[in-house]
Structure 1
Amino acid sequence: METTLFRYIDLPIGDRAAFELVCARRGFAPAHFDISASAAPGEPAHERVVTVRRGGWSQSYRDRDGQWVRQFEADLTCRFFK
Structure 2
Amino acid sequence: MNHDEFTLYDLKVEVIASDKPMVCSHKEGDYFLVIGENLVFPQTTSFSMYSLAALLPLLPAKQRELHENDWMLSDSVIACPDP
TM-score by length of 1: 0.33
Q: Using CA pairs below 8 Å that are at least 6 residues apart, which structure has the higher relative contact order?
A: 2
Query: Rg bigger for which structure?
Result: 2
Bigger helix fraction: 1
Bigger strand fraction: 1
TM-score by length of 2: 0.33
